Structure 1
Amino acid sequence: MSFRLKRITREEHLAFIRDRPSVSHMQVPSWGEVKPDWRAESLGWFDGNGGLAGAGLVLFRPLPGLRRYLAYLPEGPVIDWDAADLEQWLKPMLEHLKGRRAFSVKMGPPVVVRRWDAEAVKRAIADPAAGRLRDAEATTHEPRALDIGERLRRMGWQRTEPVGEDGFAAGQPRYVFQVPFAGRSLEEIHQGLNQQWRRNIKKAEKAGVKVVEGGYDDLPAFHEIYVETAERDRFVPRPLSYFQRMWTALKAEDDGRMRLYLAHHDGEVLAAATMLTVGRHVWYSYGASTGRNREVQPNNAIQWRMMSDAHARGAGVYDLRGITDTLDESNHLLGLLRFKAGTGGEAVEYLGEWDFPLNRLLHKALGLYMARR
């Protein structure tokens, strides 16, 4: 089957997304408004009957001094990745983006490769021979993913390899941690938490930690401890304006798209987190906590409140986003993996991000620039 690709309206894009249980929050039209340094465009794949069969949000980032662009589809596009004629989906996209003066295309196929349940992750961390999660025996494999990867290589796509020792790539995470909700009661999800998590939730309740849902005016309180978290965990924080723009853009599109939670104790905000929802997929997006009064376990309390609310709203999966691939005890990110594994969910490996150089010289120059960063 051949497809005709063209720009689509926000309304067409949103209508397509509404029919699907899981689409990345980075593939909704409003995400382009969160990224003011990028120019956004919604693309649609139309079949022979004129029906909208696929959609994607593409972000264009200009090269300084040149009218040439990096075209980026984070965690997308939303197409039939299992299709035998995958080239018929991607070829018109490349032709369209080349006509839009893109010198390189980056995309993140939402295709799962492997999963490790919580026990498998626990064993991997305890195994001195397992230096990385990828070295540990997975609980389940998705054979189709390897076939998709091989077909992408034959088409000329190149997988972006992680940079740095922590296993994180420059774009979106290849490894995430998710808690399956579909078909499970809240009690079953609670029982799936490890003993330490259940104990910490009860400890927070006894200590009087109160988790409340906040609004736009509470974003500065979130941001204050987010900056503290960034300093402690050694990452560069985003400015307050970024979260204010995210709140305004996402909630204008769908009032339930973004929520803010704050954990209070004795009149002080000890932890805060943002939650994003598209369809039946819910993400714990950004989290923050102060180093004060950690013994009252505000992080467990806020996560359990978010998980409970997500379940009540019909979520099929609760996604805790990125985890490190390294199992090195000296890596400060290993503690985050342990924390997320305590939810009783599963580590999930995606196919990763892939590049297609439309202009090899400019693509190589961009690669050298990113490597120096």
Structure 2
Amino acid sequence: MLYSDTRYMLRAISAEQRTLWDKFITTHPNGHLLQSWQWGQLKASSAWQPLRLALWDNKAQQIVAAAQILRRTAPYVPVRWAHLAYMPKGPVVDWSQATLCEAFFRQLYARLAREGALALRMELGQLAGSAEAELVQQRLTSLCVQPAQAIQPLRTIVLDLTPPEDLLLAQMKEKWRYNVRLAARKGVTVRVAQTLQDVQAWYSLLQTTGERDQFGIHTLDYYQRAWQLFAPLNQMRLLLAEHNGQLLAGIFVALFAQQASYLYGASSNIRWAKQQGAHLYDF
């Protein structure tokens, strides 16, 4: 398949262009939180070096595809010498356009090779087994991409938030509805975290939960950094459930590209996501 290098050009996006980047990622049907500018900033605090690359259409004068690539290398080894490249929930591209996909990937491969990438690992945003995922697989096979073991979940549960709130409640199991109403009657309240001390209190609860249920967690600094980056932009909330001043549960919920996503915690909050205009809730 042929394409014109003069029409499509792969460009690095600078910090001064971050608004342009997030506008494209937010409004694209395949946009995802893990491709947002702020997510790259968060991962930069834990030894990753983000690289944002956009395919520019010289004819339409706009971005038509993009990928945030996280790069990591061995201690004291410069990225340009050798590194591993990781693309979470990307690229953000219209997979139905074969010519566009080929232009993007051929230029992407060439650039990463020039800049020292030993390998590129991609974790797609499409749900495994979906019709869209099948199309993506066909495109990647034609580009000689090999399957690898996943890091991010291959499957998830997604709730449609467009129905009215009372209908969403009616669709829950009877026991769940009972528990929701019982908590309200018993005086359990939910509030939004306002300070780093709130995050620290939640983290203490998360440590206890992680030890009990035997799952790994990040450091306190990581969660506080996430809250500092996303909360001011209304792209993430830490919701805390309390009773008589005692913290009972908490959850980080992200909101990006009209989709809310459960990130960290041991419960879920759907009402806030719906009020903020999310169409889907990813558990």
TM-score when normalising by structure 1: 0.67
Please tell me whether residue 5 in structure 1 is matched to residue 10 in structure 2.
yes
State the alpha-carbon separation in 1 of the partners of residues 95 and 135 from structure 2. 11
Question: Per-residue deviation at 1:88?
Answer: 2.3
Please tell me whether residue 208 in structure 1 is matched to residue 187 in structure 2.
yes
State the alpha-carbon separation in 1 of the partners of residues 270 and 244 from structure 2. 24
CA contact (8 A) 2:238 2:250 kept: yes
Query: Who is 1:256 aligned against?
Result: 234
CA deviation profile, 1:310-345 (whole Å, cap 9, x unmatched): 11111110111xxxxxxxxxxxxxxxxxxxxxxxxx
Trace 1:197-346 onto structure 2 (pairs within 5 A).
197-217=176-196, 218-251=198-231, 255-288=233-266, 299=267, 303=268, 306-320=269-283
CA contact (8 A) 1:45 1:55 kept: yes
Question: Per-residue deviation at 1:256?
Answer: 0.5
CA contact (8 A) 1:23 1:281 kept: no
Question: Per-residue deviation at 1:87?
Answer: 2.2
Q: For 2:141, what is the secondary structure of its paired residue?
A: helix
Query: Who is 2:34 aligned against?
Result: 26
Question: Per-residue deviation at 1:209?
Answer: 0.9
CA contact (8 A) 1:55 1:77 kept: yes
Question: Per-residue deviation at 1:101?
Answer: 0.8
Question: Per-residue deviation at 1:219?
Answer: 0.2
Q: For 1:159, what is the secondary structure of its paired residue?
A: coil
Trace 1:142-161 onto structure 2 (pairs within 5 A).
142=131, 144-161=132-149
Q: What are the ranges of 5 or more consecutive residues in structure 2 without an aligned counterpart?
A: none
State the alpha-carbon separation in 1 of the partners of residues 260 and 22 from structure 2. 17
Q: What are the ranges of 5 or more consecutive residues in structure 1 without an aligned counterpart?
A: 115-140, 162-168, 289-298, 321-373
Query: Who is 1:123 aligned against?
Result: none
Question: Per-residue deviation at 1:285?
Answer: 1.0
Amino acid at match of 1:153: T
Amino acid at match of 2:105: L
Q: Percent identity at matched positions?
A: 28
CA contact (8 A) 1:22 1:280 kept: no
Amino acid at match of 1:73: M
**Equivalent residues, number:** 267
Query: Who is 1:14 aligned against?
Result: 22
Which one has more relative contact order, counting CA pairs under 8 Å at least 6 apart?
Answer: 1
After alignment, is 275-284 or 83-92 more displaced?
Answer: 83-92
Query: Who is 1:89 aligned against?
Result: 104
CA contact (8 A) 1:258 1:276 kept: yes
Q: For 1:208, what is the secondary structure of its paired residue?
A: coil
CA contact (8 A) 1:22 1:278 kept: no
Amino acid at match of 1:267: G
CA contact (8 A) 1:262 1:271 kept: yes
CA contact (8 A) 1:21 1:280 kept: no
State the alpha-carbon separation in 2 of the partners of residues 88 and 222 from structure 1. 46
CA deviation profile, 1:181-237 (whole Å, cap 9, x unmatched): 13x111221111111211111121122211111123300111001111111121222
Distance 1:47 1:59, change over 3 A: same
RMSD across aligned C-alpha pairs, in angstroms?
1.8
Please tell me whether residue 45 in structure 1 is matched to residue 65 in structure 2.
no
Question: Per-residue deviation at 1:157?
Answer: 1.1
CA contact (8 A) 1:69 1:102 kept: yes
Amino acid at match of 1:175: R
CA deviation profile, 1:67-116 (whole Å, cap 9, x unmatched): 311111100111112222332221111111112211111112222344xx
State the alpha-carbon separation in 1 of the partners of residues 55 and 153 from structure 2. 26
Distance 1:45 1:17, change over 3 A: same
TM-score when normalising by structure 2: 0.88
Equivalent residue for 1:59, pick from 70, 82, 90: 70
CA contact (8 A) 1:10 1:42 kept: no
